[in-house]
Chains A and B, each alone.
Chain A
Amino acid sequence: MATTPETDAPAHRLSRLYLRRFLRNRLAVTGVALLVLLVLFSVCGGLLTPYTYADTDFTALTRPPDATHWFGTNQGGNDVYASAVHGLRRSLVIAVSVSALTVVVAAVIGTGAAYLGGRIERMTLAVLHFLLVVPSFLILALVSHRLAGDWRVLIVVLTVFGWMSTARVIWSVSTSLRERDYVRAAEFMGVSAPRIVRRHLIPNLGSLLIVHLTLGVVATVLSETALSFLGFGVQTPDVSLGTMLADGAGTVTSAPWLFAFPAGLVVLLTVSMTLIGDGLRDALDPTSVTGAAGGRR
């Protein structure tokens, strides 16, 4: 049969294989379903209530959940449901952007160090290890204290202090990729450097980057909530899941709904991303047992 396959057909089939393997993983599919629900909630949830996160209802201060205020209200009369919708959206946007930026920065630094080698590589690794052991959270807090308030600044700050561990992984994988026989073979065949990067390095790093993208979201959500909880992240009047946790922390026993709803959303978000990340890791692994397309004759 197939004499001359279309140039893009095999790649297409490979991605179908990955998809099939991913869909076979029930936990990962659950993660996707959860994430879709959360995103829908953050985008469309606001349409279901007349309130916005900034509105204050002075007739209902610190009310438990009821028919008007589905998640109750806080001490200032803000609708917790509306705040949760907004806070989730804010946290999601921050997490996704930071994670994407982090992966890009880490990929550039990691592959750069591996590619250039020599002294530059050793210096980069020294800096990287230094930043890994230095209590970067303190520096993060210090820097964002002055600059924060604006969530966009927070994105930059979190990226600047968040790329190290991903960069280290990418560095070590790219060094081993460079030594692979098929990369050496391509060099011997006279394939140009950009083409080797495009054809062999990126596809083989790609799965790693995607996995780190999803797991980076988890890490960022956790950092953002921690920072906002301590008052260094998103600032009032803006709302994120972290600030909601901080607001609710004081009244866990007297008004548990103020804390329970944002806490539940954070955990749902991180768990769903972790499940997706693990599923992707398994599905994109070329050494996986089920990896052989077609199988042996």
Chain B
Amino acid sequence: MTILRVENVTKRFGGLVAVDDASLSVTPGSITGLIGPNGAGKTTLFTVISGFAAPTTGRVLFEERDITRVEAHERARMGIARTFQIVQPFATLSVVENIAVGAFLRHAARADALEEARRVAAEVGLTPMLDQPAKALTVAGRKRLELARALATGPRLLLLDEVLAGLNPSEIRDMIPVIRAIRARGVTILIVEHVMQAVMSLCDDIYVLAQGKLIAQGPPARIARDPHVVEAYLGHGAAQRLQAKAGQIGEAAHAERA
């Protein structure tokens, strides 16, 4: 059973093949990671999945329904929400109004939408900033706002585009439990991410994209040891470093849960 399935997606820009015959599937209730070096085509694949670009060939299925030609706003209605890597706040609106735009998707009345927005704001830790203009938020605040707006649309599948990029280590530490809590509520998450430690500790399943092609798939521990990944993505000599780190994070995560 899968909630999202990408079948043989290829995306060409003129002569450039950004994504080459990529297939992946996301299990309901999981946090699935999509990683890869810069220019690997992660963002392009993400754009195709979220409906902001059409694939040249291939299909995207959501809950076994072909959504390849479904427009972005329709996908949101069906239950797919996305965030943006470069945060896109509605700058002149307040935080709560920003989130309410998302909440209006399932709540027609303003009072209901605002109530839902406040509830979601609490979930991501934005309650103290509710009435601030969005442009006054810090980078970390804006990342949370991205997350909150997407959540407010009531998604079953949440697509996160580098929500941790640009955050400092302590901000990342604060964000990770927020993402876990969203999953615990039953929202499936597909996360495109650069921040390796975070991906390793968050994800149940990871896909690795390099030069447009999927080169590996599996649980974090196996991905970290996969020689293809080490070669293509991390460069020589990085495998040991990563293993060491994965070990540490594993312990840290353990300690946290305990």
* A joins B in a complex: no
